[in-house]
Amino acid sequence: MKPIGLSAISRKQLSMLLRDNPPIVTPSAAAVTLGLTPEIAARRLASWSRAGWLARVRRGTYVPVPIESESPDIALDDTWAIAATMFSPCYIGGWSAAEHWGLTEQIFRSLCVMTATRPRDRKLVLRKARFELHTVPASRFVGLKTVWRGGTRVSVSDSARTLVDMLANPALGGGIRHVAEMLNHLLDAQPKEVDKLGSHADKLGIGSVYKRLGFLLQRDRPDQVTLIKTCREKLTTGYAKLDPSLPADHLVTAWRIWVPASELRDAKS
């Protein structure tokens, strides 16, 4: 269905609203741009959506329908830009950042968003696009890079911060085995990022990161003497599991970490 024609006034208002190519349109933004009350702005957006000029993402959130589209039933054009606007303050992290920086060739179906908000729904499907949301305090927004998606500024964790996040929560990397593979790839392909691993981990102050990182380095990359030493110096009390999603029956006392037998290999206990 092609969009329905608009009156001259509606056409002018819609052009004003979309002139800066916003990734999403909300009643609050429309109210400011058009000088309307939020209630009237909300009704105006709903009317344009019914006419096929906007596509509803969820309540109070719309995206523009491209003029060449045959139907208003469109997929989201750029999920990064959408996420940066809908879940702000946030950054793209985990497996999505790993894909961006070439740390993995594995394809993930959803976009991993690290947000300072506390969303009620953490796994969302919006117009066929999947988002997985993880809450991170704004004080831990370190180690981020800026990329531009169209006219939208999007934050993404750098390679080292991406690994630190996944060491804190292996599920963000698809499990510890995949995280270990990405760590090795980082050490080989991006050696300048190695110092940042310790720096980011220190700023975040998460004890399990040093335990997992130290164990993996000693097992797989004993050549990383300086970083292994750093992990030992920062080792905290208490015990962690190498991967909380896996059963672990062996305690590696040197790193205070419970490890599945399949992951021991030549690591010292």
Task: Flag the least confident range among 58-72, 91-105, 235-249.
Answer: 58-72
The answer to whether 53 and 30 are in contact (CB under 8 A) is: no
Residue 2 scores a pLDDT above 60: no
Residue 68 scores a pLDDT above 70: no
Enter the pTM of the model. 0.88
Task: Flag the least confident range among 53-67, 80-94, 148-162, 170-184.
Answer: 53-67
% of the chain surpassing 90 pLDDT: 78
How far, in Å, CA of 94 to CA of 145, rounded?
14
In this prediction, residue 1 carries a pLDDT of: 52
β pairing state of 54-58 and 129-135: unpaired
In this prediction, residue 242 carries a pLDDT of: 98
Task: Return the closest-CA partner of residue 145 out of 131, 164, 158.
Answer: 158
SS (H, E, C) 78-132: CHHHHHHHHCCCEEECHHHHHHHCCCCCCCCCEEEEEECCCCCCCEEEECCEEEE
Q: Tens of pLDDT along 43-52?
A: 999 999 999 8
Residue 261 scores a pLDDT above 70: yes
Tell whether domain 8-64 is in CATH 3.90.110.10: no
Residue 184 scores a pLDDT above 80: yes
